[in-house]
Structure 1
Amino acid sequence: MKIDMALSPFFKKLTLFELLVSILTILQLYHFCILFSNHALPMPLLYGPLFWGMYQCLSHKSRSIIYRDLLVGNFPFLFFLVWYSILGGTFDWVYFQWYLPVMILVQVGYPLLILYRLKGAGNNRDGVVLLKQLMALGMGISLFVGAVFIHHYLQIDVLVGINPIQAIAVAMVFSLFMLIHYMYGLYRSLEVKPVEIIVEDMDDDMDTNLLERCGRGLKDAMENDRLFLDSKLSLDKLSTHVGISKTVISHYLNSKLGLNYYEWLARYRINHAKIILAGFGSDYKIEAVAYSSGFSSKTTFNRYFKEIVGVLPSIYREQVTFS
């Protein structure tokens, strides 16, 4: 019998959010290594667009939108990188006069915007806690960057002798610890032991039976156990509940239903919301309907409702009420 050892590479299993976290970790490691020897390389300008891309992943934006915003958001970095290359190490104050304000705007603007957008997000959702912590730490780092700015422009030492670069380095250590801890936990959760698969004995019937069992398990979990009402339901949690791997579940949803996990889950939640709105939904605020249906935010609820039903939930309620 021929034995095939199936072990997928770690990075092939990552979502786009997790890939962005990986890129951010690598960038910060490199930035930390050169922090004391090169203050002029405009690497901090990369962080804001990456953070925004991570937020968009958590908001379930399409990949095309995320890629577009990453490209547009990195224009300042590309501009100053070209300027940096032209200067070739002979930096004058004109470079910093333009670079520092832009850097502070990026360091402060993105975290403030993301923290504002995340204020209603559930704290236990995958990645939300990490992003909130990074944004709070980023705001702290921006204070020290601002101190450098004030010192250069106004010749005022607001840190009373504290070296801002050293303070930034300490903050980066905390940031790297959080990123590496997240990636290590992710690695442990995605780690798959080698599985022996008997190639000769594997046929299409086995695949069909597995997918059918997956379909029955998912239907039971949603219609009988009503797991979709759990706002913290993750693919990992669902996989454990039905006793079928995440890979098989994702393959079933994509091949049989043409949906990804979030789209499939949203349909159950939207159908439940429609029942509430058609019944006694007039007594509920839209936000309450969203939470009662398993959504963690009103914004996500409105977006999925519009995509699936064609109108916003408030309009749908009016239609069913007066029909």
Structure 2
Amino acid sequence: MALKIGEKIPDFELEAFHNEEIKKIRLSDYKGKWLVLIFYPADFTFICPTELEEAAGLYDDFKKLNAEVMSVSTDTAFVHKAWHDNSPAIKKVNFPMLADSTGKLCEAFGTYIESEGLSLRGSFIIDPDGVLKAFELQALSWLEKFRGKELRKMPHSLPSLPYAYNALEPFIDEQTMRIHHTKHHQAYVDKLNAALEKFPELQKKSVEELLMDLNFVPEEIRTAVRNNGGGHANHSFFWPLMRPGKEDNSPNGKIAEEIQKAFGSFEKFREEFSAAALGRFGSGWAWLVLSKGKLEIYSTANQDSPISEGKTPLLCIDVWEHAYYLKYQNRRADYAQAFFSIINWEKVEENFKKPKA
């Protein structure tokens, strides 16, 4: 239930981006001061920078009145940093930018739209004793305007999953899927959009086109496009490669024939693919690709994509720890074994049959 005027605000602790660093902030840190919380839907949008820029311009006046200002959205602190680093308007923001990635604070204040994972726009004033004194909250109908006129302007967006977040259990748990998709993948999308902000011609290209010719990308954003464009492309390719698990999950059709031909047996393929996943030091991906007309298993570091090497991806497994650590901790081998139960071999077959560039 949303807080009401006259009620005491519960203490909270959130990550925040402030003064060029990511830190933890608690409400109790500001006891004895007035507190102004500015809730907004998302970073890298077109209306939010103007109101935060305006608040930044008044920040010194607020401080003279013994008041602290904080902004709140469901973006992560790393996304706040990326926005701050890339937006001239947000560079002026010198107050804490809270990262309510779970939506719990937004939910407490009645601003959270669960179906969207976003906050409504609103402002809340809390007195030095931690009591809510006043608030202004945007009507829900405004969200449709936000979604229709702002999000569609971004060149790259987060794709929907083709299944529910809990559909892959018990092999991959719901919490991992939800965080992996809405936080990690979303962060790659946001940072890619930020990198392309000053390059309208590049915004017209698909992420695959960008990755196929990284030398064409200006040097000042090439690393950002390689890392975040790769992260976006790799995850967008990865999600449809999984489906609810079954015991006897093996390929059929043409891809089964090609695996037999290239590796001698499905079991041998499974061994080599697992070895590539386990052998990747640190973070990265293991892949089954088509290279010069032949099947090949190999791995890439970080978010590097086979597309950049002229290879055609058919199947992949994400071996970054965020893909499995909540359930499997350091047992990457168990995660790789479980992955074979949820491979969508029909999608792999479809990838194999697609016309090759």
TM range (shorter): under 0.3
* TM-score normalised by length of structure 1: 0.26
* TM-score normalised by length of structure 2: 0.24
Computing the radius of gyration from Cα coordinates, the structure with the larger value is 1
Does 1 or 2 have the higher relative contact order (CA < 8 Å, sep 6+)? 1
Higher strand share: 2
